[in-house]
Amino acid sequence: MLKVNKPISADFLSGGGEMGALTRAHDWSASPLGKPETWPQSLRTALRILLNTNHPMFIWWGEDLIQFYNDAYRQTMGPERHPSALGQRGRECWAEIWPIIGPQIEQVMSGGGPTWNENQLVPVTRNGKLEQVYWTYGYSPIDDDDGIGGVLVVCRDVTKDYLASVALREREAELARVQQIGRIGGLEVDLTTGFRNRRSPEYLLIHGLPPEAANESHEDWVRRIHPEDREATERKFRDAVANGVRDYTVQYRIIRPSDGETRWISVKSTIERDASGKPIRLIGAHTDVTEQVAAEQALRQSEELYRKLADQLAELNATLAQRVEEKTRERDRIWNVSQDLLMVSDRAGVWQTVNPAWTTTLGWSEAELLNRTSEWLEHPDDNGLTRAKMKELGARETTVRFESRFRHKDGTYRWLSWTGVSDKDCNYAVARDVTAEKAAAERLKAAEEALLQSQKMEAVGQLTGGIAHDFNNLLTGIVGSLDLLQTRLNQGRTDNVTRYIHAAMTSANRAAALTHRLLAFARRQPLVPKVVDVNQLVVSLEDLLRRTIGEAIDLEITALNGLWNTLCDPNQLESALLNLAINARDAMPNGGKLIIATANARLDDTTADPSALSPGDYICISVTDTGTGMSAEVAARAFDPFFTTKPIGQGTGLGLSMIYGFARQSNGHATIDSKLDRGTSVKLYLPRHLGSSIIEQAAGVHTSRHAATGETVLVVEDEPVVRSVILEMLADQGYRTLEAGDGPAGLHLLRDNKQIDLLITDVGLPGMNGRQLADQARETRPDLKILFITGYAESVAIADGFLQPGMEMITKPFDLDNLSRRIRAMVSR
């Protein structure tokens, strides 16, 4: 499917002649592609190239193969398809030739690589009739963010050229047969590269040369000439080349290396020149005329035949040269317009040819790049990677793909993505400038890291706030109880001493439990691992679990026979299972079913999650309920510390995080699977251990009770111990006190016709918080004095404008003397 990016400009459809105008005018919003502003970068780039090139090009895009083409391709289409083919689905438009082109398109779209076809017969209906059309075309993949997005077609109708080449080959075959019959040797000399020669088999036979002498040098030819004819023959050849001669003929004797025999050779050649008259190539025909020299009449007959054959050869060679020239011009056009960086080097890595894209991309001229290796351009940190990869071609590899950095002329570096191939003599490489893509990837990585850091800081903030709130509540209960205890002992009184000690111990124990849970989440709690038979442990917990979840919930325990042992802290495992049972109970307020099952789990490289569990043997304990379940968003955060969906004041959000920490510290893992209204399943994976087991009995459940009394100052505090300490201190000071455990209860007391001189309220109340309570209280009691208590740091709790006149704040934990002084000061004003 087409990936939709953020809206962008459609300037990439500018230009392009008639097809550019048609493409811009087309209603793309009704097509599978949508508006051009949403098209991916790869499609926009390809379309810009397509519309602004004079070479026939075609694009199929997306699963429906939506079509684009340029003016040059339009000229090859008949009225049957143009202009309706624009935006049409490929299979619908080209149904008559789909059996030919369909498999090739499928190969490219499925990642099988590009295709190339020369002189392919593809019959096409044009102008109302079926034409036998030959095409040379290539299908290339166009990459998208999610893989291959489409196919780029570079094509050319070569029917005329193909039929001409067929005729040319037939004539060449006839000529070769004539040369074979007439013992005429063909010769081609490249006059631009030091007279490099190529010789036909007949030439080698005539001159008595072995097959490996087909590329004989000019000097070897000169040495073979008879000494008496050598100087004149070579001078005549050089004069012909230098003096603008086109048709060059000569007759001389050679001494054949094969048998030492002297033979007369008659040569007729054509010297081809460029527009300036510079010689380019010599094409010649060699004939052994030894017998003709001996007999004049036979010689004249041979010369006549030779003349006719030479004329035919010259005509064929001229046609061939023209065809070669056309092919060369076509290749040069592609070479010059390509935006990819094309390069040819020898096997040692010395650059021989580069296209203009090198200068466009890197700023270096062709002269600066040629006859050097890549080492001077490469980034020092790449350690000569490009040249090393090129050396691999032919030695061990036939194709290499890699990325490296090359220096621009301005001193900066560009990332290039390379593909290299080799043949017998040369290496061929294509490089694409991917600097922009690299920069985009780096920006994306930086954004992801910034997001991750932000999430980490949010989690740290949440964790810090939760710890501060809970610990300050607990410390207030401890300090207050001990302060009252100290007061009673100083007075010589022992009444209520036990209650103060119990209250302080209760808060201290709860603080220890909170620390324990935090350490469990952080995987820092001290564990006492033992070899445990989990089946026996679960069965021993059954009675406690049934009492915990109540009669409305059906408990089912499914223990696997032959369950492996594990090594873990049995007390922590019991605590984890109790926590999970309590969570399940809370998720089934109207009753339901709780299933605890054990199983063996063997995880391999395929089923294991490397980031969480290594492959191996584990025991799995699943706790499944039929409760309300969680959304995917809530389930994703279920193991986060202090994250809870319970009402404020009814849960710390540390239960599941403690279970997760225990499993991870035991070299295991915990997972959660939940769906709204379909229940939740939590699985604990603990590693298998070979050894005897122990039986651990379920731990007892200890509860503590907090005293609660009431009196002249209204105290609103949801923590019973803290509330009772404050109330008793106020009573000792002679105040009449009233108390409430939450905001609504406190507001109800404030709206009675009672005299209340001071409101003391905790900021972090469940439901209605302390500030909301204060605001509503002052609607009916505008002069009410208010003392806020908070378990958070003052700098965090007090935002700008939080405290208004008549309001003060004290932070937990606090000593009672300080609290008494603050209360006395506020009430006496």
* Last residue within a domain, chosen from 334, 359, 375: 334
Any domain includes 511:
no
Enumerate residues 6+ apart whose C-beta is below 8 A from 388: none
* Last residue within a domain, chosen from 689, 715, 749: 689
Any domain includes 622:
yes
50 and 142, same domain (yes or no): yes
Q: How far lies 370's CA from each of 354, 365, 367, 423, 632, in Å?
A: 8, 9, 6, 20, 60
489 and 546, same domain (yes or no): no
Taking a C-beta distance cutoff of 8 angstroms, is the pair 221, 197 a contact? yes
Any domain includes 153:
yes
- Region 701-721 average pLDDT: 60
Q: How far lies 443's CA from each of 146, 328, 382, 405, 433, in Å?
A: 19, 44, 22, 18, 18
What domain count does the chain have?
5
CA atoms within 13 A on the CB side of 506: 21
Any domain includes 1:
no
Q: What percent of the chain has pLDDT over 90?
A: 15
Rounded-to-integer distance, Cα 446 and Cα 166, Å: 60
Please choose, from the candidates 299, 268, 260, the residue with its C-alpha nearest in 3D space to the C-alpha of residue 286: 268
> pTM of whole model > 0.95?
no
pLDDT of 457 reads: 54
* Confidence bin at 176 (pLDDT 50/70/90): low
* Confidence bin at 208 (pLDDT 50/70/90): confident
- Region 367-386 average pLDDT: 88
Any domain includes 471:
yes
Burial class (CB in 10 A: 0-12, 13-18, 19+), 192: exposed
459 and 550, same domain (yes or no): no
Q: Helix or strand or coil: residue 679?
A: strand
Q: Which two tokens stand for residue 326?
A: 């056309």
Average pLDDT, the chain: 80
* Confidence bin at 787 (pLDDT 50/70/90): very high
Rounded-to-integer distance, Cα 497 and Cα 614, Å: 55
235 and 330, same domain (yes or no): yes
CATH number of the domain to which 264 belongs: 3.30.450.20
Any domain includes 606:
yes
Taking a C-beta distance cutoff of 8 angstroms, is the pair 32, 60 a contact? no
Q: How far lies 457's CA from each of 300, 453, 465, 655, 661, in Å?
A: 103, 6, 12, 22, 20
DSSP secondary structure string for all residues of 483-548: HHHHHHHHHT--TTHHHHHHHHHHHHHHHHHHHHHHHHHTT-S----EEE-HHHHHHHTHHHHHHH
Give per-residue pLDDT as tens, 239-293. Answer: 888 888 888 888 899 899 888 899 998 888 888 888 888 888 888 888 888 888 8
Range of the domain at 652: 522-689
Any domain includes 449:
yes
Any domain includes 512:
no
pLDDT of 444 reads: 82
552 and 659, same domain (yes or no): yes
111 and 179, same domain (yes or no): no
Please choose, from the candidates 282, 279, 251, the residue with its C-alpha nearest in 3D space to the C-alpha of residue 269: 282
